[in-house]
Amino acid sequence: MKALLYRGARRVELATVEQPAITDPADAIVQISTTNICGSDLHMYEGRTDVADRTILGHENMGVVTEVGSGVMHRRVGDRVSVPFNIACGTCRNCEAGWTSYCLRTNPTEGMDGAAYGYASMGPYAGGQAEYLRVPYADFNLLALPPGTGHEADFAMLSDVFPTGYHATELAQVGPGDRVAVFGAGPVGLMAAHSAYLRGASRVYVVDKEPDRLRLAAEIDAVPIDLSQGDPVEQIMDATGGAGADKGVEAVGYQAHDATGQEHPALALDNLVRVVRSAGAIGVVGVYLPQEPGGVDEAARQGRIGWDYGTFFAKGLRMGSGQAPVKRYNRQLRDMIVAGRSRPGWIVSHELPLAAGPDAYERFDRREDGWTKVLLHPAA
């Protein structure tokens, strides 16, 4: 089958590889109809991780079941499914508590809980930027979708960015009437802004400096805050009559940069600590592994950054963080889409065949104007 392989920093290659087979009775094989490129893939693409050469990339997958293991009871050949990026067993202590992103059983890497497809340090699993994908614990992990091809781009958001954005608002405890500041207008930040409104926020402010992304924020009635036009915290303070935000979301990660393009790993976090009012809360879903391209050292792996914990403490803020447990939200969000109350596919900018993948990685990584979310269709 055809697949996109990681071949070193800034090298993604379309190659022919062996098709995956069932290796455990709980497995299923899914023929991929849509697989997305994610901001998280860029950490690997830029050579900032120790992902192995020839790894098949892709953790945002959906498609149709073509084969099931003898132990699979509820998923059938022909089912249209969304595949959460987390690979979870369903029965360990964390999975039972709803934390499928920290499954204790699926990642054999020492000191790492939680697994994903095609991702450095997240276990030995092939990704889905390919024609077929092996899904472990298929009964537990696969979410059924309505048959057919309707809402494909909307449902494609269910494997990661929509539940992740929603999780950020859950971590920040966004409730009715809240003013919410979202840092980062990438796919995750835009989904967090959309989720904040689903949860009843009165006003959402979205900070970035990419004009195309700020336009997408404005399309859902969020207030775009352009950080290249001045301190984003002051802009939000002005817009709220000095009150600031009640809740905040960090959807940038360690690659936060200032208006001049200089990287400052703690910049978005520090701005959130400034802009969220005392006794408020912040949800952090941006990834922190501050590594220079080409190097993975132990200090970097720990993600040590200097941030303003003193002000965070003085204001009595709360914070939640980490990988999103997709399964906790994806059924509800699917049903919002089916009912016509949510159209997360509004952020999709490109739908391309798999062969366009290497070029798409390059353009998406350069944040070329208009490249917000890329969907690849392996059967096209």
CB of residue 330 to ligand NAD, shortest distance in Å: 13
What is the 3-state secondary structure of 129-184?
CECEEEECCHHHHCEECCCCCCCHHHHHHHHCHHHHHHHHHHHCCCCCCCEEEEEC
Q: Which of 244, 286, 290, 378 contacts ligand NAD by CB under 6 A?
A: 286
- Give the 3-state secondary structure of residue 309: helix
Nearest approach, Cβ of residue 89 and Zn ion (Å): 4
Cα 316 to Cα 142: distance, rounded to the nearest angstrom: 39
Residue 337 interacts, among Zn ion, ligand NAD, none and using kind-specific CB cut-offs from 5 to 8 Å, with none
- Contacted by 183, from Zn ion, ligand NAD, none: CB < 5 to 8 Å by type: ligand NAD
The helix/strand/coil state of 115 is: strand
> Least distance in Å: CB of 108 to ligand NAD?
20
How far is 113 from 107, CA to CA, in rounded Å? Answer: 6
Residue 208 binds what, of Zn ion, ligand NAD, none (CB under 5 to 8 Å, by partner type)?
Answer: ligand NAD
Q: Is residue 40 part of the contact set for ligand NAD (CB under 6 A)?
A: yes
Interhelix angle for 267-275 vs 232-239, to 10°?
20
Contact between 251 and ligand NAD per CB under 6 A: yes
SS (H, E, C) 256-267: CECCCCCECCCH
DSSP line for 7-67: -STT-EEEEE-PPP---STT-EEEEEEEEEE-HHHHHHHTT-S-PPTTPBP--EEEEEEEE
Does 206 participate in binding ligand NAD (rule CB under 6 A)? no
Break the chain down into helix, strand, coil percent, rounded to 5. 30, 25, 45
Name the residue nearer to ligand NAD (CB basis): 68 or 207: 207
Q: Is residue 213 at the binding interface for ligand NAD, with CB under 6 A as the rule?
A: yes
Indicate the residue among 213 and 334 with the shorter CB distance to ligand NAD. Answer: 213
Which residue number places its CB atom closest to Zn ion? 38
Measure the CA–CA gap between 217 and 189, rounded to whole angstroms.
9
From 99-107, 119-127, 314-322, 346-354, give the range in contact with Zn ion by CB under 5 A: 99-107
Q: Are 179 and 201 in contact (CB under 8 A)?
A: yes
Q: How far apart are CA 104 and CA 162, in angstroms?
A: 24
Residue number with CB closer to ligand NAD (127 or 186): 186
Binding mask 57-96 for Zn ion (x = CB under 5 A): ---x---------------------------xx--x--x-
Tell me how far, at minimum, the Cβ of 371 lies from ligand NAD, in Å. Answer: 9
Residue type, 10: R
66: how many CB neighbours lie within 10 A of its CB? 13
210 lines the binding site for ligand NAD (CB under 6 A) = yes
40 binds Zn ion (CB under 5 A): yes
Site for ligand NAD contains 184 (CB under 6 A): yes
Contacting Zn ion (CB under 5 A), which of 43, 48, 80, 105?
Answer: 105
Which spans of this chain sit near ligand NAD (rule: CB under 6 A)? 38-40, 160, 164, 183-189, 207-210, 213, 227, 251-253, 256-257, 267-268, 285-287, 323-324
